[in-house]
Amino acid sequence: MNDTAAFLAALGDVPAISDPDIVRRRSRDMTANFSPVMKDDALAHVADVIVRPRDKADVLRIASAAARSRMPLVMRGGGTCNFGQGIPLAGGAMVDMTGLARVLWQRPGSVRAEAGARLAAIDEATRPQGWELRIHSSTKKVATIGGFVGGGHAGVGSCAWGILRDRGNILGLEVVSVEEEPRVVQLRGDDVNRVHHAYGSNGIITELEMPLAPAWPWREAVVVFPEFMTAVRFSHALATSDGIPKKLVSVMGGPIYRMMRVLRPYGRDDCDGLVLAMVAAPFMEAFQALVREFGGCITSDAPEAEGPYRIPIYEMSWGHTRMHVNREHPEVISNVGLYLDPDLVGAIGRSHQRFSHMLGMHFEAKRFDGKLSFQGSPFFRYESEAQLAEVMRGMAEDGAMVANNHTFLVKEGGMKSLDDADAAFKQAMDPHGLMNPGKLRFDAAAAKESTGGALPSGGWRFRGKDARERDEAAVA
């Protein structure tokens, strides 16, 4: 039983919400919609109270009060997560960070903002100087930078700039420890990945320093192809056309876009592949030539956010693709597979054939650890965890690295590489184990004891010192 009264008494005038109906509603994110495996957990676990820090001083008071009263903390940004990042496993205080929303400074090529700053607000601040965030989620309008870095992985812009974990995509972080006397810790270089994609379980992110990219005038295009695999090959060619600046390359099969009311009018009955693309306006002629080379047809071409579908095109990609499908077909789910070059197209072709009885496939092009990759899976109607496991095994047999988006555990999700140094960092920043207890576990029993944790996931395998040494030995 959490001692909410003692925690609140130690907070002073930090704003708090205790109304049970409000707390229950705010304890929700998109997890229940995206995973039938996690749905019961997502709906059953509820925080005890919501606290809303106004500044860093409030964050320090919250961290200290939590340590003194042993109150669990659950970090909260825009609440757009769908991999179980925000499920409050042990109740406790949900820390709504949206009050810390300032853009602190910007320079050519970089920006520093408080954790609760919305991604869209950061771009609004930097675009007048000709810059924008390199990578953002498809939930850019409401997602916060702290939530994106703490629980995200990749997004719009990753086809050019890679994933958040790649060196240079997070320049610096400020993190507060949960101790009786909280420490403010600055992380730079590779150390930023201790906190990235840890689901807010090993420190309270208060500030982030991010790289910027040139803010091109972007054009959005919808392109259709008679065959899905032709759309895949076109997407690969576009993603590797280094002379064409691009921000989005999203490919999906005919059954998928026909289930999306917003996108349905821009497909064609005789086409089984569709690509969503964002290309820098001065390079549209080169883009159109590539479309012709692959026999495609552009069914919509408009400046960013001015298309006839009346939303930014990226709001039909990444996680938004499933969201649009689920509006009419809530039983449809997907996995997370990573198909990497040099056999990216071949591996997708094998999965396309294997899962031809399902509802088509959806992929996002992204750079990953120095290689081009396509992230995605087939869409299918959920029947059971056994069926889900079989799809995951099939994708792995075809050559994909398969993560697990149906567990609320960080390690078992497979998108974050963890080692002894991560365990030590967790212990140092959260010595009482109060940051969403159970979320980041290092024990072998975690998978068996947790919902969805035992699904067959090999996770992402990142190149590192050991991999380089193996490659060097093989060459020698």
**36 in any annotated domain:** yes
What's the pLDDT score for residue 473? 41
Residue 447's pLDDT is what? Answer: 67
Bridge partners of residue 371, in order along the sequence: 368
State the pLDDT at residue 475.
Answer: 40
- Answer whether residue 19 is part of any domain: yes
The candidate with the shortest Cα–Cα distance to 349, out of 212, 278, 251, is 251
| DSSP classification of residue 144 | B
Q: Is the dihedral of CA 247, 136, 125, 196 positive or negative?
A: negative
In this structure, is the dihedral angle defined by the CA atoms of residues 356, 358, 359 and 364, taken in order, positive or negative? negative
Following CA atoms 445, 450, 456, 460 in sequence, which dihedral angle do they give, to the nearest 10 degrees? -90
Q: What is the pTM of this model?
A: 0.92
Whole-number pLDDT of residue 82: 66
Residue where one domain finishes, among candidates 338, 368, 403: 403
Burial class from Cβ neighbours inside 10 Å (0-12, 13-18, 19+) for residue 33 reads middle
- Check if the beta carbon of residue 300 is closer than 8 Å to that of residue 308: yes
For residue 266, being part of any structural domain is answered with: yes
**Identity of the residue numbered 110:** S
Q: Within a domain: residue 54?
A: yes
The CATH code of the domain that includes 331 is 3.40.462.40
CATH code (residue 46): 3.30.43.10
Domain-located, residue 419: no
Distance from the Cα of residue 345 to its chain's centroid: 23
Name the nearest CA neighbour of 83 among 23, 16, 150: 150
Tokens of 341: 């070059």
pLDDT digits (tens, 9 = 90+) for 79-130: 776 666 777 888 999 999 999 999 999 999 999 999 999 999 999 999 999 9
Buried b (16+ CB within 10 A) or exposed e, 135-151: bbbbbbbebbbbbbbbb
Spatial CA neighbour of 430 closest among 439, 170, 193: 439
pLDDT number for residue 453: 67
Does 85 fall in a domain? yes
Contact 155, 137 (CB under 8 A): yes
Domain's final residue, options 98, 132, 163: 98
Q: Is residue 382 part of a domain?
A: yes
Q: Both 228 and 366 in a single domain?
A: yes
How many domains does one find in the chain? 2
Q: Which domain holds residue 325?
A: 218-403
Q: Are residues 244 and 380 in the same domain?
A: yes
176-220: per-residue pLDDT in tens?
999 999 999 999 999 999 999 998 899 999 999 999 999 999 999
Which residues of the chain fall short of a pLDDT of 50?
465-476
Q: Within a domain: residue 392?
A: yes
Of 403, 425, 444, the last residue of a domain is: 403
- Looking at the structure, tell me whether residues 229 and 363 fall in a common domain: yes
